[in-house]
């Protein structure tokens, strides 16, 4: 008797929490709306503003650090790879910024499509253990096979991410699972995988030395070669996610309705899982496991765009790097001349927001 006679746990009764539950909103994407052109213009200009914001954060990310650069020097520095005084920009900050851009976009979009697929507001690659799965696979590679460097790591990370994505969906996700149970299943997977990772670190001190910096989640080890290696994976993942945005909208109406609208549910699910695997696997291989970016950004963006994934995904791809790079810059400002790892900053910033999201309002009244 495992199941206590518990009343079914439901958070979906909270209207603001439900992601794609409300059929009317998804239907808006399909039917012509009177003010549709006006709304499209608003959304497009909003997206432009978001891109501008991203540019500002990227400039800050290049300027701020142990050796601060005047903002006016950022552009000349980027154009002049040879100059000695700008070595720090080309060797460290530019790769780091690019990595932040890619990883942020990957995590944000992965979170958004997972929330849509599982119809679950708490779906996040970090919370569901996908990043931990990638970590466990990378740790295995590091300790047993002696894999070092991203080229080897990325394949292990992809395998680990794929395994946990599939397992998490089958085991805890599915379509009937309530948010709390999905989060709990993820926490369970996380606990298992991290205890495995720490067992590996314990048996092999050399792995500990390398992995303890990587498991926090950091952009500090970025090199242009790393960015080049992970870029194709993330680009493929992003394209795949954007490609299924429209059918995924239809899927929000239920499998039968989606079929009637010409979508193929099984194919869409497979595509989403593949996209999430590519995005999370590549991001985790390069930066280590980072939580909450994939959870928070889609929630914040949804307040701006509504649940239509064709707008939600581009917004997430732009605003998630803003959060990640912003957290990274903040980590560099807070403990100069050292730095706080970005994974720690997002955990500390994102945790309270997560608590607020799940505990506010009437959630918790049975």
Partner 1 sequence: MIVLRTPGDISLRLHPRALAVGLTCALLTLAVGVLALGSGDYPMSAADVLRTLAGDGTPAEEFIVHELRLPRLATAIAVGAALALAGAVFQTLVRNPLGSPDLLGFTQGAATGALVVVVVGGTSTMLSGAAAVSGFATGLLVYVIAWRRGVHGYRLVLAGIGVAAILTGINGWLLTRAPLMDAARAVLWLTGSLDGRGWIHALPVLIALALLGPVVLAGAGPALRLMEMGDDSANALGVPVERLRLALLGAAVLLVSLASAAAGPVNFVALTAPHLARRLTRAPGPNLLPSALLGALLLVVADEIAQRAVPGHQLPVGVVTGLIGGGYLIWLLAAERRAGRL
Residue count, binding to partner 1 (CB under 8 A): 64
DSSP per residue, 316-357: HHHHHHHHHHHHHHHHHHHTTTS---HHHHHHHHHHHHHHHH
Dihedral sign for Cα atoms in the order 16, 267, 125, 61: negative
Output the CA–CA distances (angstroms, integers) from residue 291 to 53, 261, 294, 345, in the order listed.
22, 35, 7, 10
| CB of 38 or CB of 361, closer to partner 1 | 361
Burial grade of 150 (CB within 10 A; 0-12, 13-18, 19 or more): buried
Q: Which of 29, 139, 287, 340 binds partner 1 (CB under 8 A)?
A: 340
Would you count residue 212 as binding partner 1 (CB under 8 A)?
Answer: yes
Considering only residues 146 to 205 of the shown chain, the ones binding partner 1 according to CB under 8 A are 167, 170-172, 174, 176-177, 180-181, 183-185, 187-189, 191-192, 194-196, 198-199, 201-203, 205
Residues whose CB falls within 8 Å of the CB of residue 301, separated by 6 or more in sequence, listed in order: 112, 312, 315, 316, 319
Q: Rounded CA gap, 118 and 187, in Å?
A: 16
Considering only CA atoms, which of 140, 218, 183 is closest in space to residue 359? Answer: 183
Which residue is associated with the tokens 């909450």?
292
Interface pattern 113-142 for partner 1 (x via CB under 8 A): -------------xx---------------
How far is residue 142's CA from residue 200's CA, in Å, rounded to a whole number? Answer: 9
Place of tokens 């995988």: 193
Q: Among 216, 245, 271, 316, indicate the residue that binds partner 1 (CB under 8 A).
A: 216
Given the complex with partner 1, which of 308 and 339 has the nearer CB atom?
339
CB of 2 to partner 1, least distance (A): 5
- Please list every residue from 248 through 307 that binds partner 1, using CB under 8 A: 291-292
Q: Which stretch binds partner 1 (CB under 8 A): 42-50, 254-262, 313-321, 344-352?
A: 344-352
**Least distance to partner 1, CB of residue 247, Å:** 26
Interacting residues toward partner 1 by CB under 8 A? 1-7, 9, 11, 126-127, 167, 170-172, 174, 176-177, 180-181, 183-185, 187-189, 191-192, 194-196, 198-199, 201-203, 205, 208-209, 212-213, 215-217, 291-292, 340-341, 343-344, 346-348, 350-352, 354-355, 358-359, 363-366
């Amino acid at each position: 008797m495992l199941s206590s006679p518990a009343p079914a746990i439901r958070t979906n009764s909270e209207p603001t929490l439900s992601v794609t539950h409300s059929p009317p909103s998804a239907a808006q994407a399909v039917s012509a709306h009177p003010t549709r052109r006006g709304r499209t213009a608003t959304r497009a200009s909003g997206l432009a503003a978001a891109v501008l914001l991203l540019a500002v954060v990227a400039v800050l990310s290049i300027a701020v650090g142990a050796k601060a650069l005047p903002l006016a020097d950022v552009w000349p520095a980027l154009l002049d790879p040879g100059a000695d005084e700008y070595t720090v920009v080309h060797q460290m900050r530019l790769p780091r910024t690019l990595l932040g851009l890619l990883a942020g976009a990957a995590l944000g979009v992965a979170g958004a499509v997972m929330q849509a697929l599982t119809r679950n507001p708490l779906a996040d690659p970090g919370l569901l253990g996908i990043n931990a799965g990638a970590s466990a696979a990378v740790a295995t590679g590091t300790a047993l096979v002696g894999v070092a460097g991203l080229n080897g790591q990325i394949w292990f990370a992809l395998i680990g991410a794929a395994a946990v994505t599939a397992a998490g969906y089958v085991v805890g996700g599915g379509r009937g699972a309530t948010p709390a149970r999905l989060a709990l299943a993820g926490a369970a997977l996380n606990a298992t995988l991290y205890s495995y990772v720490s067992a590996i670190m314990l048996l092999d001190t050399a792995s500990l030395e390398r992995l303890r910096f990587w498991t926090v989640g950091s952009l500090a080890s970025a090199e242009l070669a790393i960015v080049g290696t992970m870029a194709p994976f993330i680009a493929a993942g992003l394209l795949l996610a954007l490609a299924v945005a429209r059918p995924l909208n239809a899927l929000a109406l239920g499998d039968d309705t989606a079929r009637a609208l010409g979508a193929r549910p099984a194919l869409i699910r497979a595509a989403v899982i593949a996209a999430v695997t590519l995005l999370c696997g590549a991001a985790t291989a390069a930066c280590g496991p980072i939580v909450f970016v994939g959870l928070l950004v889609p929630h914040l963006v949804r307040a701006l765009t509504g649940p239509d994934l064709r707008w939600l995904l581009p917004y997430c791809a732009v605003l998630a790097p803003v959060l990640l790079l912003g957290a990274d810059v903040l980590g560099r400002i807070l403990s100069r001349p050292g730095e706080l790892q970005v994974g720690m900053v997002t955990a500390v910033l994102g945790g309270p927001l997560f608590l607020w999201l799940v505990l506010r309002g009437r959630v918790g009244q049975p």
